[in-house]
Structure 1
Amino acid sequence: MSSPDASTLERFRRRIKGERGARVHWSSEDIHRIAKRYGLRERDIDRSVVELPRRKFAEIQQQPTSVTGADYTATLSTARVDRMFDSIAVGGWDLKEFRRNPVVLLSHDSQAMPVAKASAGVWIGSGKLKGAITLAPDQDELRKLIDGGFLTAISVGFRPGKWKFSEDKSRPYGIDFQDGHELLEFSLVSIPANPDALIDRAIVQPTSASSGKSADALERQRERERTLRNLRLVR
């Protein structure tokens, strides 16, 4: 069997390492599954992903329960097909561990110290994953860039759960992330993968406009629904 051409390897490398914002933390099983889609063999996988970065995350204090004192709120993710031709189901986010370590990075650089924290954590409302941002005390220049409209975009870093390749013929290598995607961090970036992922012009409160329920209540409701779905599968 002949070796894959350079363009195939490059497309696979961009798929795994990320393009327009590296944000997906693939497992070894995921990487092999994607490689098969590209027609690659074991030895080709090693060549393509050998430079994958190892991410480390600093521990910071637990976030408060309201947006009081937050500098900004932002849309972190929606179900819109993004520039990688992927979609992320909003109802499938696993936010538990992030709430214990709510780091906000700059351009997914986990080797550097966080530039902010998600002071009110994250919540889901109106079909969007939202978050509140409090900048670190030494980030005056970053604050000027945001306030001046020079830096307005967000990108999520996450570990995939259940996913499948898109059945949409217009995006044959696109992926639909369906459930259990664990949020690890989100970042301030120049260009987002999802065009909807932007800092709000005004602070948005963590409630559901349609039901008026709190973010915590909505999260508990989604957890109950997910548990019931799993029980039905077991039976």
Structure 2
Amino acid sequence: MKHSIRVQVKQLKSPTENRVLRFIGSTETEDRDRDVIRATGWQLENYKKNPVFLWAHDYTVPPIGRALDVRVENKQLVFDIEFPVKGLYPLADTVYELYKGGFMKATSIGFQR
């Protein structure tokens, strides 16, 4: 099951060139498939052991970032994503710049029922 929402992206400070963006990954609003994910249902322990940020749910390519912080706050799944230093991974650079420039405004979370 995939869940997509429009988000506002916020630039955060980091030791790696300020390449950290904050995302709202999920809210308690109905998605395209009419599913609602309750914030109290998030089980993040396993994800936090390897908090990778994948591009388009693609497990066949390296992740484009890592979650420095992931938490439930105000009934929302919030995550701060650190992108690699510029020049290390061109796909990550492109995605970072598209989010930062406002060209991409959504995220998608994957989960199993």
TM bucket, shorter chain: 0.7 to 0.9
Residue number in structure 2 paired with 1:136? 84
> Is 1:84 paired with 2:37?
no
Distance 1:95 1:156 in 2: 12
Identity of aligned residues (%): 30
8 Å contact kept, 2:52–2:67: yes
- Whether contact under 8 Å (2:38, 2:75) holds in the other structure is no
Where is the strand percentage greater, Structure 1 or Structure 2? 2
Q: Give distance in 2, aligned partners of 1:110 and 1:136.
A: 18
Q: Secondary structure at the match of 1:143?
A: helix
Q: TM-score, normalised by structure 2?
A: 0.76
Aligned: 1:153 with 2:106:
yes
Q: Which amino acid aligns with 1:108?
A: H
2:75 paired residue number:
127
Which of 33, 37, 49 is residue 100 of structure 1 equivalent to? Answer: 49
Query: Unaligned stretches of 5+ in structure 2?
Result: 4-11
Larger radius of gyration: 1
Structure 1: gaps (5+ residues): 1-17, 24-66, 161-235
What's the Cα RMSD here? 1.8
Distance in 2 (CA, whole Å) between partners of 1:74 and 1:105 is 14
Structure 1 runs (4+) deviating above 6 angstroms are: none
Q: What's the CA shift for 1:68?
A: 5.4
Alignment of 1:1-235 (within 5 A): 22=2, 69=14, 71-120=20-69, 122-137=70-85, 138=89, 139-160=92-113
The letter for the 1-side match of 2:23 is A
Matched residue type, 2:52: V
Q: How many residues align?
A: 96
Question: 1:136 deviation in Å?
Answer: 2.3
Structure with bigger helix share is 1
